[in-house]
Structure 1
Amino acid sequence: MDATHTTLIRETFPVGPLQCNCTIIGDPLTKKAIVVDPGGDHQFILKRLDELGLKVVSIIHTHAHLDHFLASGEMKKATGATLHLHEGDKFLWDNLEMQCRMFGVPYTPVPAPDQWLRDDEELACGCGVAMHTPGHTPGSMSFWFPQAKLLIAGDTLFRRGIGRTDLWGGDYGQIEKSIRQRLYTLDEEAVVVTGHGPDTRIGDEIRENPFIQG
């Protein structure tokens, strides 16, 4: 477990066939939690929530590519938590089965999102805010937890990389704008949880990312 701040529980681990990073964010006082991008292995995620003594109240998605949602339906069924997505990715959510078929991944039906995420929306538990950072997809979101200096960037920003823009709805101009104008303006000491692979820091990417430097 990685406790990045005394008022925040954070644990990140890869799940599913494409090893998407799933993150649990929990409030140690209320024991309420959000789960970001449950891309598979729902039983493992549920086990970790139980071991941490947390109850998930919302399941939020950085975007609607198949590898970030594969356990969402099972998680909702097991917990009753609400599903959240930016409306810009509704067309991708509506075609989840097609995405799975194209990538040869078994499809598990997922219900429609319960609520659409909005830019600058406060997240459940009151510990973070949603940021609309389009480019990888039209509805790509990042989640910023200022007290913990923690950013969950999904597939928008990677360690020395950025999200691909050659899939459905991708736009390089938009992802460059999102990174420069939204992510690179955050605290340079902030830890960045990426959609795949290792964490990084905002300042390191500003200085060393070969695709988009600050």
Structure 2
Amino acid sequence: MTSQPALIRETFPVGPLQCNCTIIGDPISKKAIVIDPGGDHELILQRLDELGLRVVSIIHTHAHLDHFLASGLMKEKTGATLHLHKEDQFLWDNLEMQCSMFGVPYTPVPAPDFWLSDDEELACGCGVALHTPGHTPGSMSFWFPNDKLLIAGDTLFKQGIGRTDLWGGDYATIERSIRQRLYILDEEATVVTGHGPDTLLGDGMRNNPFVRA
């Protein structure tokens, strides 16, 4: 029995706040999802082209400005749909205010096409969306079990967790999300964080100074 080829996965920092944008591609259908296009839409489109992938959906771990500054332009150039958890709509609707607070130029972004839900199957890669609130009320993580890959956004970092002092953040909630939704996954999984380097889930379970398993 032949095994399924591994997903195409590429992660690189984009935008003024260097958010990690991740491309997930199906090696057979060549469909792709783009997670957190936080800027530099031309770079993202170039990488998709070089990988021979066609983006079908643009999904967001949450609605802080640095994770969707290029979402509108990506949608305009590709026709891909925008996806977000409903509980982060208030942040999406206040992008201009967020940009002004952080001194970042404002580019309007259309409303999301679809609201993400907990345990929803993603458009490619046999991935599933996990609602992991705490950093924001609608924070999501994306789990690809066949490839032992977790896209954690700003919920979990290498030796850290997401801040909870911004709009809608809550420390007890993020701690519960990490323990009950993320630390139950395969400890050999690679964790792609919202900023900075990848980490291993098992390393976080044992050594994260903020939340241990």
TM-score bracket relative to the smaller structure? over 0.9
Counterpart code for 2:178: I
Aligned equivalent of 1:83: 82
Q: Secondary structure at the residue paired with 2:48?
A: helix
Given the alignment of the two structures, is residue 8 of structure 1 paired with residue 7 of structure 2, yes or no?
yes
Q: CA deviation at 1:113?
A: 0.1
Partner of 1:40: 39
Match status 1:144 vs 2:143 = yes
Cα distance in 2, alignment partners of residues 76 and 101 from structure 1: 23
C-alpha distance in 2 between matches for 1:126 and 1:67: 25
- Which residue is 1:99 aligned to? 98
Secondary structure of the corresponding residue to residue 11 of structure 1:
strand
TM-score, length of structure 2 as denominator length: 0.98
Deviation at 1:126, TM superposition (A): 5.0
Q: Give the whole-Å Cα distance in 1 for the aligned partners of 2:93 and 2:201.
A: 33
Partner in structure 2 of residue 197 of structure 1? 196
Secondary structure of the corresponding residue to residue 182 of structure 1: helix
Counterpart code for 2:42: Q
Question: What are the Cα deviations for residues 125-151 of structure 1, in whole angstroms up to 9, with x where unaligned?
Answer: 252000000000000000000000000
The answer to whether structure 1 residue 68 and structure 2 residue 60 are counterparts is: no
Indicate if the aligned counterparts of 2:24 and 2:125 stay in contact, CA closer than 8 A.
Answer: no
Name the structure 1 match of 2:50. 51
* Uncovered stretches (5+) of structure 1, i.e. residues with no partner: none
Instruction: Indicate the residue corresponding to 2:167 in structure 1.
Output: 168
**Identity of aligned pairs, percent?**
82
Instruction: Give TM-score, length-normalised by structure 1.
Output: 0.97
Letter paired with 1:103: F
> How big is each residue's C-alpha offset from its partner over 1:171-195, in whole Å with a ceiling of 9 and x where there is no partner?
0010000000010000000000000
Unaligned segments of structure 2, at least 5 residues: none
Question: Aligned equivalents of 1:7 and 1:124: distance in 2?
Answer: 16
Cα distance in 1 between the residues matched to 2:200 and 2:5: 20
Tell me whether 1:116 sits opposite 2:115 in the alignment: yes
Between the aligned partners of 2:84 and 2:109, the Cα distance in structure 1 is 13
Cα distance in 2 for partners of 1:183, 1:199 equals: 15
Rounded Cα–Cα distance in structure 2 between residues aligned with 1:103 and 1:6: 42
Aligned partner letter, 1:175: I
Aligned to 2:158: 159
Deviation per CA, 1:45-87: give whole Å up to 9, x if none: 0000000000000000000000000000000000000000000
User: How many pairs were matched up?
Assistant: 210
> Is residue 25–residue 125 contact of structure 2 (8 Å, CA) maintained in 1?
no
